[in-house]
Amino acid sequence: MQQEENHHLQKGALSWFLLSVLGVSYVISGSFAGWNFGFSVTSWFGMVIAVFLMGVMYFCLVLCLAEMSAALPSAAGGYKISRKVMGDIGGFATALAVLLEYSIAPAAIVIFIGQYLEVLWGLNGPLVYALFYITFVGLHLLGAGEALRLMLVITALAILAIAFTLVALVPHFDLSNLKAQATVLYSDQALLPSNPAGIWAAFPFAMWLFLAVEGVPLAAEEARDPAKDLPRGIIGAILFLVVSAFLIVTIIPGATGAYMVGSYGAPLVNALQHVLGMHSVLAKLVNLVGLAGLIASFFSIIFGYSRLVFAMSREGYLPRFMSAISTRKVPYWALIVPGIIGFICSLSGEGTLMINIAVIGATLSYILQSISYILLKQKYADLPRPYHAPGGSKTAFIALSLSLLAFTSCFAYDFTAAVIALGLLGMGLVYYLVWGSLTRHSQ
C-alpha cells in the first residue's frame, strides 16, 4: 500500500443521504440491545421521559454540530471548533473524549457480535473478534464510497428487522403491560414514575438509542457539498432515530410487559418469542438480522475513528505517520492502529464495561462541544455560516445542561467504568502535555 504525499481524503464521495445512513448506522446496534435495561431502574413512563430528554439533548447537539461543521468542515469534526475557541488543550481534550468513545465502542460491539454468533452457530472468542476487525478494517481500506455503500445495505437490513418486529408486536399491544414491577432500587410499581432518581439513572440506557450519531461531521471532508450535505445528513439521521426510539420503547414493552423487557438480553428477539413462541420463524430471522445491526455500527464506527485519528495526527495531536493516505484516499494507519488497540480491549470479553466507558467519553465530548458552540457565537460572530441552528446559543445551553445530567448519571450506573474512563482521559492529557512539550522543544 503506497502513501501519497498529501493528507487529503476522497472529496465528493458522500451525498447527504449516505451521510444520514452513516448517522443511523453508527447507532443502530443500540436498538437491538442495551436500551431495555432502563426498565430495571424506572417505570415505562420514566423511561419515556429519559428517552425524551436524551432525544432533546442529541437533537440540540446535532443542530449545533450542523452549524459548526458547515462553517468549518473537517475530518476533525466538532473538536476543530473546540481548538479554535478553547486553544490546543481544549481542542485535544474534546478530541480525546470523542476518541475514547469511538475507539472503545467497536470493542464492545465485536464482543456482542461474538455472543450473537455463539447463540446462532456456537462461534465466539478472540479468533472471531480478530476476523471481524481484519475483515471490516480491510473493507474500509478499499475506499470511503465503496465501504459506505456496503454499509447502506447492511443498515437497511437492520432497519427492516426492527420494522418487522414492531409490526408483528402491534396486535399484542396492551396498555396494562406498561406497568412495571419494582425489582431494584429506583424502580416504580406504577405506570407513572414516583422517583426522579430512576429517570436520572435511566439516562445511560436511553442514550444507547442515539449514541454516536454525532459522528456524522467526521465525514465532512468526503461530503459532496459540506455546507449543505452535513446539516441535511445529520438532521435526517437524528429525526429517524427519535421516531424509532419512541416506537421501540413503547411497542415492545406494551406487547410483552415493561418489567419483563428489563431482563431481556436481546429485547427484539425475546419479545417476538414471548408473543409468537420460542420457535417463531420471525424471531429466528430477527435474531440473524440483528447481527447485521451490530455489524452496521461496528463497520461505521471504524470509519468514524479512522477519520478522527487522521485529523488528530494531521494537526499534531498524534504521531504524524497516522495521517498517511493510501492511493485509494483512505487513512490506512488511522484504520489499522486503533483497530489493533480495539482488538486488545475486546479480549477482556466485558462488552457492557466497554460500552459504559465509551458513554463517559461521549457525554464529556458533548459538554465540551456545547461550550465550544457558545464560545464560537461570542468570539466569532462574523464567521460565515451556511446553516444556522434554530435557537442559537439557547439550543447549545439545553444540550450542555442535559449533557451534564447524563455525565453524572453514568457514575450512578457504573462507577467502575467511570473511574476507568477518567483514568484513560487523564493519561491521554498527560501524553499530550509531554508530547507537546517534546515537540515544541525539538522545534
Q: Crossing angle, helix 281-314 and helix 267-276, to 10 degrees?
A: 170
Give pTM, 2 decimals: 0.88
CA distances from 344 to 354, 376, 394 (A): 12, 38, 42
**pLDDT number for residue 4:** 46
Residue 262, phi then psi, degrees to nearest 5: -65, -15
Residue 194, phi then psi, degrees to nearest 5: -105, -10
Question: Would you say 307 and 75 are in contact if contact means Cβ atoms under 8 Å apart?
Answer: yes
Residue 332 cell numbers, joined? 490506512
Give Cα 325 to chain centroid, integer Å. 25
Is pLDDT above 90 for 9?
no
Mean pLDDT, the chain, integer: 86
Please tell me which of 141-155, 193-207, 209-223, 272-286 the model is most confident about, judged by mean pLDDT.
272-286
CA distance linking residue 10 with residue 222, whole number of Å: 5
Q: Crossing angle, helix 79-121 and helix 351-379, to 10 degrees?
A: 160
Question: Would you say 236 and 20 are in contact if contact means Cβ atoms under 8 Å apart?
Answer: yes
CA distance linking residue 383 with residue 385, whole number of Å: 6
CA distance linking residue 405 with residue 54, whole number of Å: 10
**pLDDT number for residue 186:** 42
**pLDDT number for residue 7:** 52
Kindly report, residue by residue over 46-57, the tens digit of the pLDDT: 999 999 999 999
Helices (H), 208-280: 226-256, 258-261, 267-276
Mean predicted confidence (pLDDT) in 282-310? 88
- Letter string b/e over residues 16-43, b meaning 16 or more CB atoms within 10 A of that residue's CB: bebbbbbbbbbbbbbbbbbbbbbbbbbb
**Between residues 293 and 248, the one the model is more confident about:** 248
266 band by pLDDT with thresholds 50, 70 and 90? confident
**pLDDT number for residue 49:** 94
Residue 239 cell numbers, joined? 429525526
Quote the percentage of the chain above a pLDDT of 70: 89
**pLDDT number for residue 72:** 81
Q: What is the CA radius of gyration of the chain?
A: 21
**pLDDT number for residue 436:** 64
8 band by pLDDT with thresholds 50, 70 and 90? low
Kindly report, residue by residue over 143-175, the tens digit of the pLDDT: 766 667 778 888 999 999 999 999 999 999 998
Q: Which of 18, 292, 291, 318 minimizes the C-alpha distance to 144?
A: 18
- Letter string b/e over residues 135-164, b meaning 16 or more CB atoms within 10 A of that residue's CB: ebbebbbebbbbbbebbeebbebbbebbeb
Is pLDDT above 60 for 354?
yes
**pLDDT number for residue 145:** 63
**pLDDT number for residue 2:** 44
Those residues whose C-beta lies under 8 Å from the C-beta of residue 53, and which sit 6 or more positions away, are 199, 203, 206, 402, 405
Mean predicted confidence (pLDDT) in 206-226? 85
CA distance linking residue 409 with residue 403, whole number of Å: 10
Quote the percentage of the chain above a pLDDT of 90: 44
Those residues whose C-beta lies under 8 Å from the C-beta of residue 197, and which sit 6 or more positions away, are 186
Residue 312 cell numbers, joined? 488528530
Mean predicted confidence (pLDDT) in 403-420? 89
Kindly report, residue by residue over 268-277, the tens digit of the pLDDT: 988 999 999 9
Question: Would you say 372 and 335 are in contact if contact means Cβ atoms under 8 Å apart?
Answer: no
Residue 28 cell numbers, joined? 443502530
Residue 436 cell numbers, joined? 507537546
| 3-class DSSP assignment, residue 42 | coil
185 band by pLDDT with thresholds 50, 70 and 90? very low
CA distance linking residue 12 with residue 223, whole number of Å: 5
Kindly report, residue by residue over 372-386, the tens digit of the pLDDT: 999 999 998 888 888
CA distance linking residue 24 with residue 18, whole number of Å: 10
**pLDDT number for residue 83:** 87
**pLDDT number for residue 340:** 96
Residue 442 cell numbers, joined? 525539538
Residue 22 cell numbers, joined? 452513516
Is pLDDT above 80 for 440?
no
Residue 33, phi then psi, degrees to nearest 5: -170, 150
Neighbours of 15 (CB within 10 A): 17
Mean predicted confidence (pLDDT) in 67-85? 78
Is pLDDT above 80 for 286?
yes
CA distances from 410 to 151, 153, 176, 238, 272 (A): 30, 33, 31, 22, 30
220-224, 240-244, 284-288: the lowest-pLDDT one: 220-224
74-83, 128-137, 355-364, 426-435: the lowest-pLDDT one: 74-83
| 3-class DSSP assignment, residue 36 | helix
